[in-house]
Chain A
């Protein structure tokens, strides 16, 4: 889970103090984008945009992933939301599964108690 500690907040505020970086976050809130796309949209060199993205990444506001020669940037919050949704889907499957197991376990338990009572008689 994300820890909003002081160092982290400092890094976030520093990252947000720049208009271009705020613009990048705003664009990423609509859709993921490659560094090349971002550089083009903000009329900037690739190297310049890489530096901005690195600052956002250090502040854990953005995550990046390289596939082939393309580095895709996305909002970190979105990655967290997706992970939470993923966990929730599996929790639903396993809850349903274990609820069924619970019923069988209860059934076996009561059967055993009944058997034990019968033996005692």
Chain B
């Protein structure tokens, strides 16, 4: 794989997705900011809701309740033009270590993933690693087929968006 030069914008902004095993999805990206800032954007609902559902996905976040501390809960309600009913996602924060690590469950079904996100700061930059572990391979396939649904129609739109930015 060709790698961008260290510190170049291409290397900085590269989002890597890996299916680490039949039950695990890992996404990584480096942000040009200290960990406490990235953590703040992840843990404050008013900031989180501005990036978690990119416009290009075509969904809107109707409500976003987050109590980001160990034992706290979250509940997100989405709307998609293709569905009459809004969809709710909810779960519990199992572990919250400020500026370092958040672990949460997904509890709409007993097939929900356990997600761990870590923030590793190095020389003023922060490597974010998002790791989802599903109870079974089938659960991963199903959940991720669902999350990518509605994307194809928006691909053209997304391409435009990304092209326009670079």
Contact = CB atoms under 8 A, between A and B. Distances in A.
A105 B38 contact: yes
Interface stretch (A13-21, A25-33, A43-51, A87-95): A87-95
The main secondary structure of chain B at its interface with chain A is mixed
B158 interface: yes
A104 B47 contact: yes
Interface in B123-148: 128, 130, 144, 147-148
Contacts of A93: 54, 57, 147-148, 151
Interface residues of A, number: 24
A79 to B, nearest CB: 13
Contacts of B122: none
Given A90-B148, A105-B33, A105-B38, A96 B17 contact: no
Contacts of B41: 101, 104-105, 108
Interface residues of B, number: 36
B19 A104 contact: no
Contact of B33 (A89, A91, A97, A106): A106
A109 B57 CA distance: 26
10 contacts: A86-B19, A90-B148, A91-B17, A94-B17, A96-B54, A98-B51, A101-B51, A105-B31, A105-B41, A108-B41
